[in-house]
């Protein structure tokens, strides 16, 4: 699997990223987690995606336990994590609602906690997880600059940001934002129409694509949209010789000219191997638009 440069002055990622959102649901021992990670490295997937809140603040620690068994693996991977979401959990009874916090104090605490849980000294890419309407761009920029100077964070980026908020934060930073992680799948690709992907392409920044399989709705959803999309994906699967419709979906996402880097969320190595094969498949423009038409429920204008 090839490496891709995410942005000018940005990091290199593997062409696919392994996501650990559901790591706490996979019921793996620490040794099994380490084996799973090493299998990815052997396949060429060296970039991993985390967030402080995943698994109710547990997934980073589970990953860190695996790294502690063989610390040499750290130098073979790129670790992404995110911050700014405050979750209500049993351990935090005074927190009344989930909310966002991009204050300097919160970001610094989140980074220190992530470093500790992951058993690492530096985060390769730190993302602001969700757009905080109360974000003070100068404060966030000052915090990012401090973390980079301290050697705790190598690169910074955002997730689920609009183009205007991306530009606002970038205008205050000493170094460039290297990605915007956004939802892209055949049931929801608003970012292809609202200027988000255009903005990234204009700046030669590759997006990361989360929920490429729409949380499973494409496979089992009962909405008219999901049924239409599933049917056309099955047709295209036969036409291009794919093994499954998830391969068609990854190929559909990869055809976007902003060159999104898909995140895989499965804990089964067979699904990972299937996703890798998808990156060698190619859709025609007509096939791509057939999925667009069935998702929208009408033809192109």
What is the CATH classification number for the domain harbouring 11? 3.20.20.100
pLDDT digit string, tens, across residues 52-91: 999 999 999 999 999 999 999 999 999 999 999 999 887 8
Q: Which residues are known catalytic residues?
A: 54
Give the pLDDT confidence score for residue 89 in this predicted structure: 83
Q: Are 249 and 206 in contact (CB under 8 A)?
A: no
Q: How many residues does the chain have?
A: 301
Asked if residue 35 belongs to a domain, the reply is: yes
Asked if residue 92 belongs to a domain, the reply is: yes
Asked if residue 255 belongs to a domain, the reply is: yes
Residue 46: pLDDT above 80? yes
Q: Rounded distance, CA 139 to CA 109, Å? A: 15
Q: Rounded distance, CA 128 to CA 106, Å? A: 11
User: Which structural domain range is residue 61 located in?
Assistant: 3-296
Give the pLDDT confidence score for residue 282 in this predicted structure: 97
Q: What's the token pair of residue 96?
A: 């009344």
How many other C-beta atoms lie within 10 A of the C-beta of residue 91? 9
Q: Rounded distance, CA 52 to CA 300, Å? A: 41
Q: How many domains does the chain have?
A: 1
Asked if residue 234 belongs to a domain, the reply is: yes
**Which H/E stretch holds residue 104?**
helix 104-118
| Confidence bin at 93 (pLDDT 50/70/90) | confident
Residue 299: pLDDT above 80? yes
Asked if residue 254 belongs to a domain, the reply is: yes
Asked if residue 270 belongs to a domain, the reply is: yes
Give the pLDDT confidence score for residue 160 in this predicted structure: 98
Average pLDDT over residues 222-229: 98
Q: What's the token pair of residue 182?
A: 């956004």
Give the pLDDT confidence score for residue 94 in this predicted structure: 85
Give the pLDDT confidence score for residue 90 in this predicted structure: 76
Q: Are 50 and 80 in contact (CB under 8 A)?
A: yes
What DSSP letter does each residue of 192-248 carry, written as one string?
Answer: GTSSHHHHHHHTT-PPEEE-TTGGGHHHH--SHHHHHHHHHHHHHHHHHT-SSHHHH
Residue 95: pLDDT above 90? no
Asked if residue 301 belongs to a domain, the reply is: no
Give the mean pLDDT of the chain: 98
């Amino acid at each position: 699997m090839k490496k891709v440069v995410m942005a000018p002055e940005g990091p290199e990622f593997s062409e696919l990223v392994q996501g650990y959102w559901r790591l706490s649901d996979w019921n793996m021992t620490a040794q099994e987690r380490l084996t799973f990670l090493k299998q990815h490295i052997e396949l060429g997937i060296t970039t991993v995606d985390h967030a402080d809140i995943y698994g109710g603040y547990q997934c980073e620690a589970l990953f860190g336990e695996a790294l502690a068994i063989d610390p040499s693996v750290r130098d073979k991977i790129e670790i992404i994590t995110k911050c700014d979401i405050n979750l209500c959990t049993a351990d935090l009874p005074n927190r009344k609602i989930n909310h966002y916090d991009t204050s300097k104090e919160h970001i610094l605490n989140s980074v220190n906690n992530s470093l500790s849980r992951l058993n690492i000294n530096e985060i390769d890419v730190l993302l602001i997880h969700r757009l905080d309407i109360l974000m003070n761009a100068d404060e966030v920029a000052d915090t990012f600059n401090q973390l980079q100077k301290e050697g705790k964070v190598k690169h910074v980026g955002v997730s689920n940001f609009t183009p205007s908020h991306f530009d606002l934060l970038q205008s205050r930073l000493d170094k460039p934002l290297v990605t915007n992680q956004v939802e892209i799948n055949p049931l929801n690709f608003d970012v292809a129409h609202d200027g988000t992907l255009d903005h990234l392409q204009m700046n030669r920044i590759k997006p990361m694509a989360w929920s490429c399989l729409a949380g499973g709705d494409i496979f089992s959803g009962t909405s008219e949209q999901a049924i239409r999309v599933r049917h056309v994906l099955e047709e295209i699967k036969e036409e291009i010789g794919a093994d499954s419709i998830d391969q068609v979906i990854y190929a559909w996402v990869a055809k976007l000219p902003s060159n999104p880097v898909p995140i895989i969320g499965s804990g089964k190595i067979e699904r990972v191997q299937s996703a890798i094969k998808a990156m060698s498949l190619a859709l025609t423009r007509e096939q791509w638009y057939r999925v667009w038409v069935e998702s929208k429920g009408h033809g192109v204008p």
